[in-house]
Amino acid sequence: MTLSGLPTLTKTRVALWDNARFVLIVLVVVGHMVSTVRTDTALGFGLYAYIYLFHMPAMILLSGVFAKPAVNPKAIKSTVQLLVVWLVWEGIWAVIHAVVEQKALSKNFLVSPAWTLWFLVTLATMRVLLPYIARLRHPLLVSIGLALIAPLFEGIGVHFSSARTLAFLPFFVVGWLARERGWLTGEWFLKPHIRARAWAWALLGGVAALFSLAPGGFKEFWRIDRWLTHRDSYSWMFEHAPIGSFGPSGDGFVGWIGFAISGLLISLILLAVAAAMTLAVLLVVPRSHSAITVWGAHTLYVYLLHGVVVWFLRESGFIDLVGELGWIGVVVLSLLATGLAVVLSMRWVTRVFRVIIEPKFDWLLQKEQREEEPKPVG
């Protein structure tokens, strides 16, 4: 099972999307592996920020590519499946915290999804919203507006992953529109020219160079990593992660307008960068079948199971210990994360952990009726 729930299409397209999913899930694991030591080195901070600029927008876009606004038994079952898996894993994390840390259930249990589980809640919410979004005259503009305006309100936060849902909604809508209007069916995308790939590599390399060549380290100039979690309001981010000495100032309504415009512009730029990097990654991803094509079919297993492994590595002090090696430690952790993603993508993992990744829940649903009655003979 995959995070985006993509169906089987032609061989070329299956390879493309499965390859993309595996590349992105590796970035997810690497990002989580280095997260707690990211501020110790320039490499760690740059790697983390680089990944977070686009990896979740890209995952959301892939989910949108094969989403449909139809409200039918198949669509309902798919959404319910996400919610069931979410609830199962909320229980698993509650047990882990109770046994290992002797922690009781938080008052925000279920209200604030546990760590990586926000993605399941966000994806389920987007699927519920899509039939309504699809009826809008300009769905993409509306979704962008919501993404930009939401951080103005401090009440929109981690509860039911509302902040991230709105922040990433434009990418889900773009994915759906891309399929609906055939934006990604041309030769330019399915078989990109070498010049298009060169442009994509140049963009990805240019952003990497920006982080590596910034004088004094990019972290000293801007804690962009705090903006890229998409959990907090503009007011919190300007207070805890200003851009150099820049920051909105002024009192009263005029001051609020300056603050709002500054936040909107920064978010709009980050949206544009994420969109460009997402397209670049999709252009350079291999189109042919290989081992990663097979591994890319099991991204949900990697996504849910790696969190437990990484959490135990954090709690045991292993990640901090490796992080003390400096940039070498970041490299080691990145390689370990890549290896972990490969191992969790193997078929034996799907057989062992299927009961908690793809639990049976048909008993919750009414028996599906056939959409068409059999035609009478004669």
Secondary structure of residue 317 in the 3-state scheme: coil
Q: What is the pLDDT of residue 334?
A: 98
Strand partners, 222: 243
Look up the pTM and report it. 0.91
What's the rounded Cα separation, in Å, for the pair 37 and 339?
A: 19
Q: From 23, 31, 108, select the one nearest 59 (Cα to Cα).
A: 23
What's the rounded Cα separation, in Å, for the pair 27 and 333?
A: 12
Q: What is the pLDDT of residue 142?
A: 97
> If 0-12 CB within 10 Å is exposed, 13-18 middle and 19+ buried, where does residue 179 land?
middle
What's the rounded Cα separation, in Å, for the pair 307 and 86?
A: 14
Q: Profile the chain (378 residues) by mean pLDDT over runs of 10 residues.
A: 53 76 98 96 94 97 93 88 95 95 89 94 96 96 97 91 97 96 91 95 95 74 92 90 76 75 94 98 94 94 97 96 96 98 96 94 70 42
Residue 246 per-residue DSSP state:
B
Length of the chain equals 378
CB-based contact 80:364 (threshold 8 Å) = yes
> If 0-12 CB within 10 Å is exposed, 13-18 middle and 19+ buried, where does residue 10 land?
exposed
What's the rounded Cα separation, in Å, for the pair 212 and 315?
A: 30
| Beta carbons within 10 angstroms of residue 186's beta carbon | 10
Q: Please compute Rg for the chain using Cα positions.
A: 21
The stretches of the chain forming alpha helices (DSSP H) are 11-34, 42-65, 73-101, 118-133, 139-149, 162-180, 187-190, 194-213, 218-221, 224-227, 234-240, 252-284, 291-295, 299-315, 318-323, 327-344, 347-357
Token look-up 């590595």 returns 313
What's the rounded Cα separation, in Å, for the pair 301 and 305?
A: 6
Using the CB atoms, write b or e for 295-324: b if 16+ within 10 Å: bbbbbbbbbbbbbebbbebbeeeebeebbe
CA atoms lying within 13 Å on the CB side of residue 334: 15
CA max distance for the chain: 82
The residue type at 237: M
Strand partners, 243: 222, 246
What's the rounded Cα separation, in Å, for the pair 341 and 335?
A: 10
Q: From 108, 112, 117, 111, select the one nearest 86 (Cα to Cα).
A: 117
CA atoms lying within 13 Å on the CB side of residue 249: 3
Q: What is the pLDDT of residue 218?
A: 80
